[in-house]
Chain A
Amino acid sequence: MSRSRLLIVTAILVGLTVGIGGYTFVYAKGYSYFSNDAQGCANCHVMRDHYNAWTRSSHRAVAVCNDCHTPPGTIPKYMTKAQNGFWHSFYFTTGRYPDPLRITPRNHQITETACRKCHTELTASIDPFHTDTGRGGLTCTKCHNEVGHIE
């Protein structure tokens, strides 16, 4: 095969991949994950219950998913979205994930920080030297597990 023919085959295949990939992205509403809209997070059926629970929670009017589940700052926010987006897609596609879902330590830390960001005055007087969110540490959601979404 001549070089030019090979280049054409390559171009077709690369184009095909980009095309199917692009179509999949649009079909699965992949762009919605870049937004702040909570409905975007429930795009994937696994999160439907969490979304439904959130619409009935005390925080529905003051915080969307991203407020509690991504860190502040554009770059850290999209880094976290990328990381979670990849692993969520991976586990939900393969179906190998624990049910009921369990938050990872890193994501739990992000949520804990979010609680303490909005409720600084209160939390600073309760636990001013907060360092550990692991089993031993004090975490907001241990008691207030229903404020975001019980499920």
Chain B
Amino acid sequence: MKRRLSMPIVIVVLAAIAATAVTALLVNIFTRQQEARSPFYRVVELNDETVDPAVWGKNFPLQYDSYRRTVDQVRTRYGGSEAVPRTPTESDPRSIVAQSRLEEDPRLKTMWAGYAFSKDFREERGHAYMLDDQTLTERQQVTQQPGTCMHCHGSVYVPYKKLGGGDLMKGFEAMNQMKYQDARKLVDHPVTCIDCHAPDTMQLRVTRPGFLEGIKKVKASQGIADYDVNRDATRQEMRAYVCGQCHVEYYFKGPEKRLTYPWDKGLKADEILAYYEENGFKDWTHAESGAPTLKAQHPEFEMWNQGIHAKSGVACADCHMPYQRVGAMKVSDHHVRSPLLNINRACQTCHRWSEDDLRQRVQTIQDRTFQVRNIAMDALIALIADIKAAQAAGAADPALEASRRHQRRAQFLLDFIEAENSMGFHADQEAVRVLALSLDETRRGQAALPGSRASAGAQTIMKTP
């Protein structure tokens, strides 16, 4: 009897296990299908006035979670940031800052002598810190900054519209002319959801007047009239343009301090320099040499445009905010950071080599760019010292004018690569080309010094056949 019974019992146990497993599978499939069906649940209503990212985060918790991680401070070889402890003071309550670039490379102090950047310049931290670090930098204490800075250091879309009585451009123009400290009071957050997303459709959109006007000029120079980025750009283009709203070279035009992207002649460093040469703009007069100098600022968008990734249609977000799977959903990582900290998702989606191979490839490019940057920097420092010495020896201003002009040009081209946050990676050959132009300007500046017996030689701009 016992032996006859055992067979059905084994079948009962097996069937029970199988039934359990199949039910679990069914529930799992059901869950995944539900996840795929509803990418989000609308628990709050968002409108074009909702600035607070925490409110958006209620509808989009996955994106919000990763957005909040931009507080992380992680070093890469040439970028990222290191958490450096500091003693808080009354005027600056920060207990942690990033490492000082001026201490890492004291030549920068010489390059920027007489300008606020020679007082305090630290490695940039994540998006979470953009407003505080700008408010509390020592640069604020040595110079009066305009409200224009808010354009990119705060979530300014709603404040602009409020200030302009509903008109974005009017608000932009009004805030540009305010004092930094007054404009600062109108802004509550660093970059938030509303700066890149339309609240009703979540579609990407450009909200920054500087870029709206700047990209129009670029397209006009390419023969495209009346370009409206929010109407004419493709979705993939927008995945770079929303970043290009701020990660660009700019200057404050005229007494109205209007934020302007100098793109009339194109996006390359020498095209931008040609624009400044034409309108004669200078940021400051160099304290050691008396040259009318320019400061280049983080031209990531311009440099990316010259590189192979832009040519292949790869946008900023593809590498800096790569897609990640969460259950059945695919969301872009809003923890915007160096792709070197996320090589798997950032690079390996397209490049099927090991992480080590890919890291090596990037570092080779960066090491080479860094070496050429250092050569160009040494040369520039020598030129500044030469002009300073000639001045001390009694050379008059007209005799030094040519050398100062060359310093201005050499310095802008070098700073363009120095200020750009990829150490050449965004466009490696372009970076070296720009540094070579800088070296040539330095050489010409030294040859033009009073009493120099060196000849600068011809300046042949080779036109490609």
A residues adjacent to B (C-beta < 8 A): 1, 3, 6-7, 9-10, 13-14, 16-17, 20-21, 23-24, 27-28, 45-46, 48-49, 89, 93, 99-100, 102, 145, 150-151
Give A46 to B9 CA distance when docked, in angstroms.
39
Q: Which 9 A-B pairs have the closest CB atoms?
A: A13-B15, A17-B19, A24-B26, A45-B328, A6-B8, A17-B18, A21-B22, A10-B8, A100-B349
Contact (Cβ within 8 A) A99 B29: no
Residues of B bordering A, CB below 8 Å: 4-5, 8-9, 11-12, 15-16, 18-19, 22-23, 25-26, 28-30, 32-33, 36, 324-325, 328, 330, 344-345, 348-350, 352
Expressed in whole angstroms, the Cα–Cα distance for A43 and B365 within the complex equals 42
Say yes or no: B345 contacts A6, CB within 8 Å: no
Task: Flag if B19 contacts A151 (CB, 8 Å).
Answer: no
Q: Are A151 and B26 in contact (CB under 8 A)?
A: no
Interface centre among B12, B30, B328, B344 (most CB of A within 10 A): B12
Given contacts A10-B15, A49-B330, contact A24 B22 (CB under 8 A): yes
Closest A residue to B30 using CB positions: A27
Give the nearest-CB partner of B352 in chain A: A145
Contacts of B30 in A (CB 8 A): 27
Residue contact A99 to B22, C-beta cutoff 8 Å = no
- Chain B residues, CB < 8 A from A93: 25, 28
Q: Do A28 and B5 touch across chains, with their CB atoms under 8 A apart? A: no
Residues of chain B lying within 8 A (CB to CB) of residue A24: 22, 25-26, 29
- In angstroms, Cα B5 to Cα A3, docked, is 7
The interface residues of chain A lying within 8 Å CB-to-CB of B26 are 20, 23-24, 27-28
- Within 8 Å by CB of A16, from B19, B25, B324, lies B19
Task: Tell me the interface secondary structure of chain A in the complex.
Answer: helix
Provide the bound-state CA to CA distance between A99 and B29, in Å: 20
On chain A, the residues within 8 Å of B349 by CB distance are 100, 151
Expressed in whole angstroms, the Cα–Cα distance for A102 and B349 within the complex equals 10
For the complex with contacts A9-B8, A13-B16, A13-B19, 19 further pairs of A-B residues with Cβ separation under 8 Å are: A6-B5, A10-B8, A10-B11, A10-B12, A10-B15, A16-B15, A20-B22, A24-B22, A24-B29, A27-B30, A45-B32, A49-B330, A89-B25, A99-B325, A99-B345, A100-B345, A100-B348, A102-B352, A150-B350
A12 to chain B, nearest CB (A): 9
A6 to B9, CA, bound (A): 8
CB-defined contacts of A3 to chain B, threshold 8 Å: 4-5, 8
Known contacts: A6-B12, A10-B12. The answer to whether A17 contacts B5 by CB under 8 A is no
